Chains A and B, each alone.
Chain A
Amino acid sequence: SEIQYDYEVYHPLEEIQSWMFEMNRTHPHLVDLFSIGQSYEGRPLYVLQLGKRTRRFKKAVWIDCGVHAREWIGPAFCQWFVKEALNSYQHDSSIRRLMNQLDFYIMPVFNVDGYHYSWKTDRFWRKTRSKIPKYHCRGVDANRNWKVKWCDEGASLHPCDETYCGPFPESEPEVKAVAKFLRKHRKRVKAYISIHAYAQMLLYPYSYKYATIPNFNCVESAAQNAVSALYSAYGVRYRYGPASTTLYVSSGSSIDWAYKNGIPYAFAFELRDTGYFGFLLPEELINPTCTETMRAVKTIASGLLKKC
């Protein structure tokens, strides 16, 4: 049961999926598990909806992890977020307020095929696992496959490249399913958060161009508050700003798509570290990394309940 589940070790896909069923079973009043489709290799794309059930309108936050297979700290954080939200609901007034006034859609593993492959065969796999006609290479970068400035600067047309944008926008069933869900719920979803690694950054649109978003002041202050909250845990510093200038230009990214589709707060987190371990962040660092990130995400969510 939940007591035995260890949130301070990395889990393969099957264990994460069983854990999601367990969360659904043991917290029926706060959790609802559903699937938004199937991956290229036919695996279900599970999402957990967290929040107190109510008939009235509730804003919502979407959080996905594991877009890039090898970034294992992502799925570890999504599980950590669910555990914290459920365990603290009774005794933490701030979490209770968030869960009563917002819905959270959590997708612990976005790229299920790639994540599975990174456990079984290639630890540093990044892309999806779709086959590309006439090419022996496989997979599309799920963060270059969204229908926004698709395959422009910062993405590759070549199927063997790690930033391959895919044969066409939303060619990947995983991207298509999430886009469809977010379009359907766009009136309620006010924040889109995608968890990646590594670089210790908090990024927001635009990725595809050097320009300022219309609600820059609100998003910039939300990011500033979030990295301050993160810093307050263990003194870890995150850089923050538009993805194009803070990291590099890239096109077809999920945060640009979310923003273009009316989600005012779209963020990508690049979690620990800055390269000492890189993708091989030891399990001893799951706790502090997820604890500090939890503070940042709670700050972003709380900001939705205030006027900017």
Chain B
Amino acid sequence: YLYNNRYFGDQVFRIIPSSDAEVQAVKQLFQNLTVDLWQPNSASMIQENSTVDVHVGRNKTQWLRRHLHQAHIQSEVLISNLQTEIERQIGYRSSRKRR
């Protein structure tokens, strides 16, 4: 496995905060959670009705899903297993092509 399988079970969430209150709630959630923001590049840039893509470690996916649900914040899972996508991006095809 690439990267020692470190991304197994990690997920990418897409969150679209629809009000300023939701923006603040999302920023608060990210302060309690070490996340890797894909878009925008920092929590300070999160805005109302703008897309937030965030990579979350496997141990925190349930926590984040539960808290988003409790706060009635709309979200979806863009990538449900990051390791699979990583392997698909470079692992399988290019190593076969290189061989």
CA distance A156 to B79 in the complex (A): 28
CA distance A99 to B56 in the complex (A): 46
The reply to whether A278 and B53 form a contact with Cβ atoms under 8 Å apart is yes
Q: Is A241 an interface position by the 8 A CB rule? A: no
> How many whole Å from A288's CB to the nearest CB in chain B?
16
Q: Is A162 an interface position by the 8 A CB rule? A: yes
CA distance A276 to B52 in the complex (A): 13
The reply to whether B41 and A121 form a contact with Cβ atoms under 8 Å apart is no
The reply to whether A283 and B3 form a contact with Cβ atoms under 8 Å apart is no
> B53-70 interface mask toward A, CB cutoff 8 Å, 1 = contact, 0 = none?
101000000000000000
The reply to whether B78 and A283 form a contact with Cβ atoms under 8 Å apart is no
Q: Is B18 an interface position by the 8 A CB rule? A: no
The reply to whether A163 and B38 form a contact with Cβ atoms under 8 Å apart is no
Residues of A with C-beta under 8 A to B47: 248
- Evaluate whether A121 and B3 lie within 8 angstroms (CB atoms) in the complex, with A163-B42, A278-B53 already known: yes
Total number of A residues with any Cβ neighbor in B under 8 Å = 30
- Evaluate whether A123 and B97 lie within 8 angstroms (CB atoms) in the complex, with A275-B14, A277-B85 already known: no
Residues of B with C-beta under 8 A to A247: 40
Residues of B with C-beta under 8 A to A10: 89-90, 94
Residues of A with C-beta under 8 A to B12: 278
CA distance A249 to B41 in the complex (A): 11
CA distance A198 to B12 in the complex (A): 14
- Evaluate whether A9 and B53 lie within 8 angstroms (CB atoms) in the complex, with A126-B41, A156-B44, A275-B78 already known: no
Q: Is A28 an interface position by the 8 A CB rule? A: no
Q: Is A280 an interface position by the 8 A CB rule? A: yes
Residues of B with C-beta under 8 A to A279: 38
CA distance A154 to B41 in the complex (A): 9
Question: A: which residues have CB within 8 A of B?
Answer: 6, 9-10, 121-124, 126, 141, 154, 156, 161-163, 198-199, 247-250, 274-283
Sample of 9 A–B contacts (CB below 8 Å): A9-B90, A123-B7, A163-B41, A248-B45, A248-B47, A274-B51, A277-B79, A278-B12, A278-B38
